[in-house]
Amino acid sequence: MSKRNISKVAVLGSGVMGSRIACHFANIGAEVLLLDILPKEGSDRNKIVNDALAAALKSNPSPIYDKRFAKRIKTGNFDDDLSKIKDCDWVIEVIIERLDIKQQLLEKVDKLRKPGTLITTNTSGIPIHAIAEGRSDDFKKHFCGTHFFNPPRYLPLLELIPGPDTDPAVLSFLEEYGSRILGKVTVLCKDTPAFIANRVGVFGIMGLFHLVEEMGLTVEEVDRLTGPVLGRPKSATFRTADVVGLDTLVHVAKGVQANCPNDEQNATFALPGYLQQMVEKNMLGSKTGKGFFFKDRSTPKGDILQLDLKTLEYKPQVKPKFATLDAARKEDDLKKRMTILYTGSDKAGEFYRKSFHGLFAYVSHRIPEITDALYKIDDAMRAGFGWEMGPFELWDAVGVEKALKDLRDSGSGAGMTAAKWVDEMLAAGHSSFYKVEGGKRLYYDIASKSYKPVPRAEGTIVLGELPESSIVWKNSQAVVRDLGDGILCVSWNSKMNTIGAEVIQGLNKA
């Protein structure tokens, strides 16, 4: 890491993201200056920022490791305290998603900051180059996007988005600082609408919103199909939408549809009728108390009801029954489970094939548009959306050639075809997007048409990528590996990582 020191950070904007980003920097020991606008009335000029920070500290899960760390955060307002940024090493803008307002604030920041200060924006979709227009050369050199995912303490993704004038040394520093100090999975993105994770993730959600209508599935059925059994969070699809907020989701979807007219799946980002009606009725999810699910507090146990997408009325949940799900749940190995889901002969199997095909086709066309390297899409989806497998890893699991043939045979609609480079890869004798050779994980590089090592932070060891010869002892639940330099590593794969006789045997052996 370069010698740049980050001891004091200014966070401009104390909303949900700003206050929690401030807490995360306090977690790592930095002094934080958290600023926001003046209230429209009242004598307390810091009421907005103080109330926001107090709400963040009371939230669950907590954004801060220890309540005592909150003392590291000092609050203020833009009118009285913006000049204090001259003492900060990094200024992060986290205000409303309006280009004009961001530019107005950053114009002031440009005049007050000391040369060399890092300036970044947490925008989730406004072009980085547009935000930096009109700023000084030194500002542009030290400016880029740093898109944290909410909640910052718990979701590890940090997307880095350079502008046309960003100094490569700044990006290099932020990549390493994000990984080593902030504990993030840092993914370098191109300056395209919604960047990587939201572009792919919101496409996936919107695709399912349309597929549920096409297949006549219920809200609960889709959440059962797209949760832990698929290696994804328990909140799955519709519950995740409720938590995020339908207004937020719709904002991103509309932004992609408007700003990506040449996207072959542009129509997927259009709102289905029921979703449009929900927004109009203010059924936005958890923030309004009603969304795809509703907690009926009039019942003794506070029953959770699901939304009937045809009538927009709530009804009791009925546990779905799919033979494919029953079979998949018996398999602990995620790759083998994906094959079971993909090849299922019932309605669930049909659902997985349709949703997988749409996802596979879409991500293949996003290269080189949003990134040049396919592993970055997988990294972003695992770290930002909590997927255990990224799209290309999932495609590998079910078989690249098989899925490509199935996609063609399915006669899917316009845009539902894979990019030509996938055919070229297979024609050249490369059957997968990833492979392990010599203890290193390699990915298929589209530009060079060859495999390259997946970059790792210095000192990183991935056990699954070590050669078989590194294993010195194992049983059904524990493995002892020789890492070199006289170091042994014990790992175990017991159910729920419980420590039983075989795990203890492995520890004793080591």
What distance in Å separates the CA atoms of residue 191 and residue 198, rounded to the nearest whole number?
A: 13
Cα–Cα distances (Å) from 434 to 440, 452, 453, in that order, read 10, 9, 10
Instruction: State residue 469's pLDDT score.
Output: 87
DSSP character for 261?
T
pLDDT band at residue 307 under the 50/70/90 scheme = very high
| Helices first, then strands: H and E counts in the chain | 20, 17
CATH 3.30.565.10 fits 8-188, yes or no: no
pLDDT band at residue 412 under the 50/70/90 scheme = low
DSSP character for 476?
S
Instruction: State residue 464's pLDDT score.
Output: 77
* Sheet bearing 478-484, strands edge to edge: 471-474, 478-484, 487-492
Instruction: Tell me: pLDDT of 459 over 80.
Output: no
Please state the rounded mean pLDDT for residues 290-313: 94
**114: exposed, middle or buried (Cβ count in 10 Å: 0-12, 13-18, 19+):** exposed
By DSSP bridging, strand 450-453 and strand 440-445 are antiparallel
CA-wise closest residue to 63 among 95, 32, 38, 97? 32
Instruction: Tell me: pLDDT of 92 over 90.
Output: yes
Q: Could you report the per-residue pLDDT of 207-217, keeping only the tens digit for each?
A: 999 999 999 99
Token pair 């056990």: residue: 463
Instruction: State residue 366's pLDDT score.
Output: 98
Q: Could you report the per-residue pLDDT of 146-197, keeping only the tens digit for each?
A: 999 999 999 999 999 999 999 999 999 999 999 999 999 999 999 999 999 9
| Bigger pLDDT: 416 vs 18 | 18
Whether the Cβ atoms of residue 205 and residue 383 lie closer than 8 Å to each other = no
Length of the chain: 510
Please state the rounded mean pLDDT for residues 218-227: 97
- Which region among 30-34, 330-334, 351-355 has the lowest average model confidence (pLDDT)? 330-334
Tokens of 217: 């599935």
Instruction: Tell me: pLDDT of 2 over 80.
Output: no
Instruction: State residue 438's pLDDT score.
Output: 79
Tokens of 267: 């129509």
Mean pLDDT of the chain: 95
Instruction: State residue 69's pLDDT score.
Output: 98
* Residue 359 φ/ψ, nearest 5 degrees: -65, -45
- Quickly list DSSP for 190-202: -S-TTTTHHHHHH
Q: Could you report the per-residue pLDDT of 340-397, keeping only the tens digit for each?
A: 999 999 999 999 999 999 999 999 999 999 999 999 999 999 999 999 999 999 999 9
Instruction: State residue 1's pLDDT score.
Output: 58
- Cα 312-315-318 angle, rounded to 5 deg: 125
Task: Choose which CATH entry (1.10.1040.50, 3.10.20.30, 3.90.1150.10, 1.10.10.10) describes domain 197-409.
Answer: 1.10.1040.50
- Which region among 121-125, 130-134, 427-431 has the lowest average model confidence (pLDDT)? 121-125
What distance in Å separates the CA atoms of residue 177 and residue 97, rounded to the nearest whole number?
A: 26
Instruction: State residue 460's pLDDT score.
Output: 79
Whether the Cβ atoms of residue 236 and residue 222 lie closer than 8 Å to each other = yes
Please state the rounded mean pLDDT for residues 24-30: 98
Instruction: State residue 415's pLDDT score.
Output: 64
Instruction: State residue 457's pLDDT score.
Output: 72
Instruction: State residue 301's pLDDT score.
Output: 87
Q: What residue spans define the domains of the chain? A: 8-188, 197-409, 466-509
Instruction: Tell me: pLDDT of 439 over 80.
Output: no
pLDDT band at residue 414 under the 50/70/90 scheme = low
Instruction: State residue 410's pLDDT score.
Output: 82
Q: Could you report the per-residue pLDDT of 230-239, keeping only the tens digit for each?
A: 999 999 999 9
Q: What is the dihedral of CA 478, 479, 483, 487, to 10 degrees?
A: 50
Instruction: State residue 466's pLDDT score.
Output: 83
- Which region among 74-88, 356-370, 445-459 has the lowest average model confidence (pLDDT)? 445-459
Please state the rounded mean pLDDT for residues 310-324: 95
Instruction: State residue 354's pLDDT score.
Output: 96
Instruction: State residue 77's pLDDT score.
Output: 98
**By percentage, how much of the chain surpasses pLDDT 90?**
89
CA-wise closest residue to 345 among 368, 366, 363, 327? 327
